[in-house]
Each structure stands twice: as C-alpha cells, then as structure tokens.
Amino acid sequence: MRGPANAAIVRIRELVERRAARIEAAIPHGWRQAAARAKARAEKHLELRVVVSLLIAGTLGWAFAELTDAVLEHETHAFDREVLLALREPGNPSNPLGPRWMHEVGRDITGLGGFTVLTLLTTATLGYLWIRRQHRAAWVLLAGVFGAALTSRLLKRVFDRPRPELVPYTTEVYSASFPSGHATMSAATYLVLGLMLAHVHQGRRVRAYIVTVSVLVALLVGVSRVYMGVHWPTDVLAGWALGALWAIVVWTLAHRRGPRRHPRQAPAAR
C-alpha cells in the first residue's frame, strides 16, 4: 500500500507545483516587481527599527549605570531631598501637597504598578493571546514581565538602599528602595503591552496613541511613588530606565527575524 500512496502524494505535489507556477506566471511582471520592492522596503524598515531600538536601549542602559554610580557615591542626596520635600506641605512634611482627594488619587495610581494589578492584567492578556493562538506574543509578554520582576528583586538585594525617612509613608512597603519596583514593573509591563498592541495596527496615529498611553501610565505610577513618600526620585528614575530597557530589548529580540505581521485569525467557534 505504501507504493501507490507515495505515488499519489508525488502526483498531487507535482500538480500543486504546476498550478502555483501557472498562477505566478499569470501575475503581471510589474506586480511582481512591486511586491519585490515592497519586501525589500519592509526588510530595510525592520533593520532600521532594530538599530533605533538598540540605540534607545543603549541610552537607557547608560542612564541606569550613571544613576547607580551617583547613588552609590551619595551624589544624589540633595536632589532627592529637594524633590521629595517639594511634594509636601511647607512646614508639615507629613502631608502631601494638594487636597485630600488627591491623596486618594495617588494611592489609586500607584496601585496600577502593584503586584496584584499587574498580575491580573498579565494573566488576562496571556489568556487572550493564547485563545487567539498568538503563542509567540504570549511568550514575549511573559519574558518581559517576569524578567523585569526578577531583575528588580535581585538589584534591590544587591544595593539594599533604605527607604526615605524624610517623610512618613502613606502606604505599606516591604523591600529595599533602589530601584523602584513599581516604576520598573509598570514600565516593563505597560510598554510591552503597548508595543504588542501597536504592532498589530497599521495607522501611525493609532500606534503613537497606544505607545503614548503606555508611557504615560508608567510615568504616573513612578511619580505617585515619590508623591507618597515611599521612594527617592532617583529610585524611580532608575526603575523607569531599567523597565523600559528590559521591554525594548525583549521586544527587539523577539521580532528581529521578520517584518510586522498582523495576528492570525482564530477559527470561528462552532
């Protein structure tokens, strides 16, 4: 039975190849040239995007290294103290600036970078990507989030910088100060999510809007940590640099092999 079956497979393959050759020959020469040029432009655009991403990642890495060196040399104390006190009522550092409702807003915003919110958001997104059969995107998200979390925890133990004692805390804290875990995780998570969403849209305005919102959320989370008195400003700056660096590197490595593609449609439910 194997002989006739193999022969049938060979005949079907030859038939498919002949049909494909006929279809390709029927395509006008100009169309084939246009497709080749479009492919070349896509590859060139990919290379440029990778180069720009690596330049940004290098700049972020340099910024993190400079901040780390300045913190270890105790060169940032005056700056940290001035910014932290500027967000407190003059003569009464126990109260943040602004009305009482603003204090609640600060706690709500800082929760966007907390373990619970980011875990729920990441889990929900992973489930959605898996249902849509976007397995590669799911692994990218997982690598970005868990890699940033592990790096942040390790660096906190290495530097072991004390929390600010200049003002009373308005929320509970359980770890060292440098770098800010909320700033790191919010930058890594929201930037990876933003880049993933922007990746499947064609419109430049839509992509710019998505990335801008992602960056804005990460910035607000970091600012809220200083506003609530649980981090020095340089903790947050380092966290932003570290989280953004991790997100860009993971994203670039995950998409370095090919141009942007739209997600494959999942089969309709029966």
DSSP string of 22-76, one letter each residue: HHHHHS-HHHHHHHHHHHHHHHHHHHHHHHHHHHHHHHHHHHHHHHHHHHHTT-S
Q: Cα(207)–Cα(59) distance, rounded to whole angstroms?
A: 23
Residue of 29, 77, 103, 182 marked active site = 182
77 carries an active-site annotation: no
231 carries an active-site annotation: yes
What is the phi-psi region of residue 175: left when phi exceeds 0, alpha when psi lies from -120 to 50, beta otherwise?
beta
Residue of 103, 231, 255, 262 marked active site = 231
Do 258 and 146 meet the contact criterion of CB atoms below 8 Å apart? no
Q: Cα(146)–Cα(269) distance, rounded to whole angstroms?
A: 32
* Continuous segment of H or E residues that includes residue 111: helix 100-111
Half-sphere exposure of 254 (CA within 13 A, CB side): 23
Lookup result for tokens 């080749």? 36
CB atoms within 10 A of CB 125: 20
- Active site amino acids: 182, 231
